[in-house]
Structure 1
Amino acid sequence: MHTVGLLVYPNFQSLALAVASVFEYANLLRDEASYQFSIVSEHGGPVASSQGFSVHSEPLAKEGYDTLIVAGDNECRLPSAALVEYLRQAPHHSRRIASICTGAFVLAAAGLLEGKRATTHWFHARAFQTQYPKIQLEEDRIYVVDGQMWTSAGMSAGVDLALAIVESDFGLETSRMVARKLVLYQRRGGGQSQFSALLEMGARSDRVQMALAYASENLASDLSVERLAEAARLSPRQFSRVFREETGQSPAKAVERLRVEAARLMMETTRHPIEVVARETGFGDRERMRQAFLRAFGQPPQTIQRASGVTPLAH
């Protein structure tokens, strides 16, 4: 059985508690006690969250945990010196140490991230880099794994981190089953950006949201205005007008943004050659994808792929 401790301290961000459901459903779906999950704190007992309610916690175990996850808070405040010292020694008695959101500041204060790659909430990225310049912060990532250390971005990204832990322990299919049970629209990979093109488009009506959802699920297909209008159950003319009013851009431009986002994630998390990425994300050929990347990022796909450290397979 894997022991998992969620470490909380006064004013912790309450959304961190959501990771408990990931491990709960892993147990239910595997029909066995795969995880023993506990909320833990320095002394045990009630610990107040950032919203004012308290949760019961167990005292930290001296023998450690298979996985110890440090919750963050809203203001990047550090817990007690004794708790930071406990974490400093944690790698000696815990297999995996993780943080959610600004919990990365706590791991950094304990000296656990020096010389490693890590991430945290985008809002606090600049402050983190200023305080801890020897840590390679990847601020545009959902979660980052570097050896024993696992760090995630803000808030809901803790669920993605927990799903990745389940995948590491019991395989991709179990992780997918848990995500489906939790009714997650998308199980996000660690390389995915903290910023979502779908979210930034700000579609208000159900019909435009339906069209965007259809597009994101069928990027390799023909996504003409006529096809998107059909998905939205509007005439092409009406759809184009409503789409531009709600998103401030044309359907073609929106589709390009979705394809660029998907292509970048695919290049950073797989070893597919650029030709395959271009085909799978609907660009058709590498030149069309290259032009789209230059418009979006000012860099060609090869530059971004090299920066990610991924070596594509020979085509």
Structure 2
Amino acid sequence: MERSVGSGQQQRRASLAPRLSVGFILARRFTLCAFANFVDVLRLAADEGDRSRPILCEWTVLSDTMNPMPSSCGVLVQPNEWLGDPRKYDYIVVVGGLIDEIPNLSPEYARYLQRAAAAKVPLVGVCTGAFILHRAGLMDGYRCCVSWFHHADFLEQFDGLKPVSDQIFVVDRDRLTCSGGASSAHLAAHLVEKHVGRAQARKSLHIMIIDDALRAEKPQPGIPLDLTTDDALVKKALLLMQQNIDAPLSAAEIARRLGASRRQLERHFQANVGMAPTLAYKIMRLEYAEFLLRHTDQSVTEIATSTGFCDSSHFILAFRERRGITPAVFRKAA
């Protein structure tokens, strides 16, 4: 009889154990929204409504010093636990942030991540967390998702690796990486759906006013570069163009910001991508317009504004010249 009671107590304890346990490592000046989105999906999936009790999911912030960790916006987050046995967790999630801070990560974190990998604990890189995993030697042979915004930075730091910057997250065996921002909520929902249930994943996103879970292959809402080049000046110019899609800079202004002359910039573009910088910029803006037509409900006028055209008439004319059809026809076909 006593054995039967003991067995029943063990079963009840097992049934009450969280189905998903996550340990977080925050890089100095990490991206707060990426971390918050990930945690909130876990929090809302873990309990009824938004009561936030860690019943079905549990999460904790790990540290080697227990000092508050500053985010990129200055908000401090207090860790909960010292680095210990990584096998306590189903996943270790590394949340990155500003590129310049990545080399300053404590060696204790790298050793902890290496122990986790040796113990077969899946590792997750959020935002520039993928950079941190690479620096720790833990992404060799894996596909890796990075934000289109950091694509060029990644190539500069990790020669020979080919990051994925045209989808919101990548799951490659026991390595999961995402581009940050809202995509971290979708990656967290992917984990909740896998370990807790689809209903809980959808509930979390709906409470967060996110329509539904997006699959990994969903394109990032950025502008992936089709113009590939190894020329440093051209790469920096293309990134600057991406960052100023809605208010296009002149070629002279781009050159000035990069410490070059306009003629020098034009020569580099012609030699490396076979066109003038102004044409490359126009193509980039029209490709972003195509993305908005496919994936948003914005009107043609709103898209014209978002892509830096002075009015919808100029936008429609430029779009027709490139695709042979109007934006409205393109949207209907897409």
TM-score bucket of the superposed structures, by smaller chain: 0.5 to 0.7
- Runs (5+) with no aligned partner, structure 2: 1-17, 224-243, 247-290, 302-309, 320-324
- 1:57-206 correspondence to structure 2 within 5 Å: 57=79, 58-64=81-87, 65-76=89-100, 77-78=102-103, 79-93=105-119, 95-195=121-221
Corresponding residue of 1:17: 35
Contact 1:67–1:94 (Cα < 8 Å) also in 2: no
Corresponding residue of 2:59: 37
Corresponding residue of 1:249: 316
Q: CA deviation at 1:146?
A: 0.4
Q: CA deviation at 1:32?
A: 7.3
Q: 1:197-246: CA deviations, max 9, x gaps?
A: 9xx997xxxxxxxxx9998689xxxxxxxxx89xx9xxxxxxxxxx9539
Q: 1:196/1:50 Cα in 2 relative to 1: closer, same or farther (>3 Å)?
A: closer
Q: Which secondary structure state, in structure 2, belongs to the residue aligned with residue 118 of structure 1?
A: coil
Give the Cα–Cα distance (whole angstroms) in 1 for the partners of residues 294 and 135 of structure 2.
43
Contact 1:101–1:155 (Cα < 8 Å) also in 2: yes
| 2:46 paired with 1:27 | yes
| 2:29 paired with 1:7 | no
Q: 1:37-62: CA deviations, max 9, x gaps?
A: 11222222322222223111022232
Q: CA deviation at 1:75?
A: 2.0
Give the Cα–Cα distance (whole angstroms) in 1 for the partners of residues 314 and 170 of structure 2.
31
Contact 1:3–1:37 (Cα < 8 Å) also in 2: yes
Q: 1:17/1:154 Cα in 2 relative to 1: closer, same or farther (>3 Å)?
A: closer
Contact 1:6–1:38 (Cα < 8 Å) also in 2: yes
- Runs (5+) with no aligned partner, structure 1: 203-211, 219-227, 233-242, 259-281, 284-288, 290-315
Give the Cα–Cα distance (whole angstroms) in 1 for the partners of residues 313 and 26 of structure 2.
41
Q: Which secondary structure state, in structure 1, belongs to the residue aligned with residue 99 of structure 2?
A: coil
Structure with bigger RCO (C-alpha 8 Å, 6+ apart): 2
Residue 59 of structure 1 aligns with an amino acid whose one-letter code is: W
Give the Cα–Cα distance (whole angstroms) in 2 for the partners of residues 89 and 74 of structure 1.
25
Give the Cα–Cα distance (whole angstroms) in 1 for the partners of residues 312 and 123 of structure 2.
46
Q: 1:157/1:59 Cα in 2 relative to 1: closer, same or farther (>3 Å)?
A: same
Match of 1:54 among 76, 80, 90: 76
Aligned length: 231
State the Cα RMSD in Å.
3.5
Q: Which secondary structure state, in structure 2, belongs to the residue aligned with residue 43 of structure 1?
A: coil
Corresponding residue of 1:274: none
Q: Which secondary structure state, in structure 2, belongs to the residue aligned with residue 6 of structure 1?
A: strand
Q: 1:256/1:170 Cα in 2 relative to 1: closer, same or farther (>3 Å)?
A: farther
Tell me which structure has the larger Cα radius of gyration. 2
Give the Cα–Cα distance (whole angstroms) in 1 for the partners of residues 198 and 191 of structure 2.
10
Q: 1:195/1:217 Cα in 2 relative to 1: closer, same or farther (>3 Å)?
A: closer
Q: 1:239-280: CA deviations, max 9, x gaps?
A: xxxx9539933897434665xxxxxxxxxxxxxxxxxxxxxx
Give the Cα–Cα distance (whole angstroms) in 2 for the partners of residues 157 and 213 of structure 1.
17
Q: 1:32/1:123 Cα in 2 relative to 1: closer, same or farther (>3 Å)?
A: closer
Corresponding residue of 1:307: none
Please say which of residues 134-143 and 17-26 is displaced more in the overlay.
134-143
Residue 8 of structure 1 aligns with an amino acid whose one-letter code is: L
Q: 1:216/1:146 Cα in 2 relative to 1: closer, same or farther (>3 Å)?
A: closer
Q: Which secondary structure state, in structure 2, belongs to the residue aligned with residue 99 of structure 1?
A: strand
Give the Cα–Cα distance (whole angstroms) in 1 for the partners of residues 327 and 71 of structure 2.
39
